[in-house]
Structure 1
Amino acid sequence: MTEQPQARLAETYAEVEDALLSRWPETKLEPSLDRIEAFLDLLGNPQTAYPVIHLTGTNGKTSTSRMVDTLLRGLDLRTGRFTSPHVEKMSERISVDGEPLSDEEFVAAFNDVAPYTHLVDEQESHPLSFFETVVAMAYAKFAEAPVDVAVVEVGMGGSWDATNVADGVVAVVLPIAVDHAKYLGDSPAVIAVEKAGIIKAGAVAVLAEQEPDVSAVLADRIAEVGATAARAGTDFGVVSRQSAVGGQLVSLQGLRGRYDELFLPLYGAHQAENAAVALAAVEAFVGGSAPLDDELVRAAFAQVTSPGRLEIVRTGPTILLDAAHNPHGAEATAAALEDSFTLDPLVGVIGVMGDKDAEGLLAAFEPHLAQVVVTQNSTDRALPAAELAVVAREVFGEDRVVVEPRLADALDRAVALAEDGSGGGSIAAGGVLVTGSVVTVGEARAMLRPSRRRGEQ
């Protein structure tokens, strides 16, 4: 009898990163919950130890998760939060009490589950993936903490997503559009069938505004499992919003009451809509008929952050980072640029993944960018800059496209173009938008924020 391989415990963050990345990548999918269910069973099913607020949708999941988390902590609840992908560092995906795990905590979380990984690998027809392993780490860590509630963002889709072994008492469905078409389908209605899978029996389904055919799919699922629906535009929503220095002032109608002139330090109508969804999700979780405390809500929204979502990382010229990576997200970002910024010229630095709708994304930004510097991030999945340039020239025209394959060079070139186009004044009116992929934004963020404190998000 041959001896089976045993998981080696890690001593450093780098060793954990290497061990996780050696597993199936997030982009390689085999639609089954068998592996993650077997894994969590060996771990004692930690995902049943606390209530879960589960979020799906095409865009806005991470920002909304962070808002939900902040509101819950304002209620003196201990929270766990799982989001993906990460912007700069893998450990960002797992947070407790609003803070990502430290390197030491991340190593400990890995070592808690590592002894069981090979047991599952041996039993199943496919080995555990990177994503399944990190999901198990999160669920186990939340049980160990222990948390009062976990805020969990799906990785992709819903029904077959590894996070879906947990049954959310609140299921949040953010706007559904086309993304990951190869895996999820090529129309919002088809994709909605997969995403609706997070809505479980007895749950409250908090639904952002959707296209009519998507709404019909979600309504069918809610009726099928006996869930309760709370719909944006009917049961809650944005009453008003106006741009303000550093963000916007929003008035929200919740499920339990109205909350006026809340400062939200994020930009764009889409973030106001995310805030309304987050508020409704927390009200649904808390239950009862009384509104949440107004000052609590006000204080919570005022401290929300969402790295890489129209985040200003430098001024003179202004450099914005935004993780938009599909046409739907790009359209929301473009509208926010028009709404909240007066940067002239605005130069884009764009690097996308090879499986994304690059033409649709570029078209959404074209009216707002004076020029675009096409580039690529460091991953194998990145669309080569030369190939992206071909698409960009079709959208922007030859004269407005610059090619810089190295991201660092692209940033330097874009800053120079923004400064030159601003007339050379002491305070540059131009700006740079880095976008196209979470990875591109994460790598740019690391280059542009080298002096930030260790662990700061």
Structure 2
Amino acid sequence: MTFDDKTRAFMDKIAKKGSVLGLDAMCLLMQALGDPQEQLQVIHVAGTNGKGSTCAMLQSILCLQGYRVGLYTSPAVFCYEERFSIDGAYIDAATFNAYMHRMEDAWQEVERQHGVCATIFEVETALAYLYFYEAGCDYVIMEVGMGGATDASNVLNHSLCSVFAAIGRDHMQFLGPDLESIARIKAGIMKAGGQAVSTWQEPKAAKVLEDVAKAGKTGLTFCDESKVKIKQRKPLCYDYKEFSDIEVPLEGSYQLQNSVLVLETIRTLRKLGVFISDAAVKEGMQKTVWQGRMECLCKEPLIYMDGAHNLPAAKRLWETLESDFTNKSITYIMGVLADKEYEEMLALLLPRAGHIYTVTPDNARALPAEKLQKTIENLSYAALACPSLEDALYQALQAGDDMILAFGSLSYLGDFKKIVKASVKE
């Protein structure tokens, strides 16, 4: 996206302010904008892994039913504007710049009157709410950025439905040291007297969700894994409760869990009076596109990339490799952020590696490729640190394994996809 000078200067200015826990500044910013979020029918999605895929499937289904549907996600993986979409179409530069100018006016008013400054993520989230409201969206799907209770997206007095994808250990420095602490913060998006839906969770996380729902008189429904009847694994096709022959085009064994969560959410929305036909569910699921999650970039040679960047996601990736790529030798291209549990990820995933090439993601929190190489060698595996993604891809193509898999951080997947498309001819 091309930011105009005014937008760029404002975004650079507030990005330097850093992050502040709490919703005080966000509430004041939304008040300055007229609280548009309170006029929206919001489906609020939290969780550690699977949020993005879940949101994409929900948007696709609701759009197929004929509704106008806004979707806000983070972080950006392939382009900045992908974070703000209506009916699958990204916001254009002129519209974004115009809205950001209005954000600056509201931000300055809040700073002048109250002496507080909203962060860059809070401003982006506020922009999304205002954009979706003024665009006349029937429904808005908001992905939580991090946590839940104090996330900027939670500046809501009510929501249509709170949705919980898989909850696991990530961002412990912000959310707490254990699964219960993390689950409790994520559970904070539930609204008193409202409705919530959750995928099957680890028992400790499920218990927290149940306790919070009970305290707030929130109707909480868990997906029932025992009701899943798999007919075909690749491409995935299954029955769930009253839904039959659900086909999911997204690869990765974890998409079963995500798509069942979507179906259970559809069941709850129907109970709330939202009309969604079986045909829209089936076609919407079939037409879902979500980049960077076990995405096949090239079939010959076989190249995949996956957004696995924390231990729970690594476990899901491992399950996919074991179930769908059992007999294939795999070359890894891997780059990670230094604040992730990458040593545990390595211990889990290295046994499947044929060759390993490390890279440094374009992110301030990135672990240098050389340090990742050393960590891998300390685990008794060979690895080569590469100076660039181009070099890593070149080395991987020479390795001669059956498949290349890039993973470890969302930060570099957009660039990697461009490099593969430019360098490899099927």
TM range (shorter): over 0.9
Structure 1's 326 and 11: CA in aligned 2 closer, same or farther, altered over 3 A?
closer
Query: Which one of 267, 283, 292 corresponds to residue 283 of structure 1?
Result: 267
CA distance in 1, matches of 2:109, 2:422: 41
Which amino acid is the alignment partner of residue 178 of structure 1? R
User: CA 1:288–1:382 in 2, change beyond 3 Å: closer, same or farther?
Assistant: closer
**Structure 2, unpaired ranges of 5+:** none
Among 409, 412, 415, which residue is 1:437 paired with?
409
Cα shift at 1:403: 1.1
Instruction: Give distance in 2, aligned partners of 1:49 and 1:364.
Output: 46
**1:6-29 deviation per Cα after TM superposition (whole angstroms, max 9, x unaligned):** xxxx98457645642442379x43
Residue number among 367, 375, 390 corresponding to 1:383 in the alignment: 367
Cα deviation digits, residues 319-367 of structure 1 (max 9, x gap): 1111110011011112112322367321111111111111122222213
SS of alignment partner, residue 14 of structure 2: coil
Conserved? CA contact 2:305–2:407, under 8 Å: yes
**Is 1:231 the equivalent of 2:222?**
yes
> Which residue identity is paired with 1:194?
I
Deviation digits for residues 257-314 of structure 1, max 9, x if unmatched? x222222111233111111111221221232699953322211111011100011112
Is 2:307 aligned against 1:323? yes
Aligned partners of 1:415 and 1:431 also within 8 Å: no
Compute the displacement of 1:172 (Å).
0.7
Matched letter for residue 231 of structure 1: F
The code of the aligned residue for 1:249 comes to: C
| Aligned: 1:183 with 2:165 | no
In the alignment, which residue of structure 1 is the partner of 2:386? 404
Change (3 A) 1:237 1:171: farther
Alpha carbons of structure 1 residues 241 and 42: separation in structure 2 relative to 1, 3 Å:
farther
Structure 1 regions of 5+ residues with no counterpart?
1-9, 422-429, 452-457
**Aligned counterpart, 1:161:** 151
In structure 1, the partner of 2:30 is 40
Q: Are residues 73 and 338 of structure 1, via their aligned partners in 2, closer, same or farther at CA, if it must alter by over 3 Å? A: same
Maintained 8 Å contact 2:336/2:360: yes
- Helix, strand or coil: the match of 2:254? helix
What is the aligned partner in structure 2 of residue 56 from structure 1?
46
Q: 1:237 offset after TM fit, Å? A: 5.3
Change (3 A) 1:15 1:241: farther
- Paired positions, count: 422
Letter in 2 for 1:280: E
Q: Shift in Å at residue 239 of structure 1? A: 2.8
Task: Find out whether 1:301 has 2:285 as its counterpart.
Answer: yes
Q: 1:249 corresponds to which residue?
A: 237
CA deviation string 1:367-419 (max 9, x = no partner): 32212111111222111111111222233x24x311113222112211221xx
Give the match's secondary structure for 2:357.
strand
* TM-score of the superposed pair, with normalisation by structure 2: 0.93
Could you say what the CA RMSD is over the residues aligned between the two structures, in angstroms? Answer: 2.3
Q: Where do residues 42-441 of structure 1 align in structure 2 (5 Å cutoff)? A: 42-123=32-113, 126-166=116-156, 167-233=158-224, 238-240=228-230, 242-244=232-234, 247-253=235-241, 258-287=242-271, 292-341=276-325, 344-395=328-379, 397-398=380-381, 400-417=382-399, 420-421=400-401, 430-441=402-413
Q: Which runs of at least 4 in structure 1 moved beyond 4 Å after TM superposition?
A: 123-126, 288-292
Mark the CA change 1:14 to 1:339 in structure 2 (over 3 Å): closer, same or farther. Answer: farther
- Whole-Å Cα distance in 2 between the matches of residues 342 and 25 of structure 1? 47
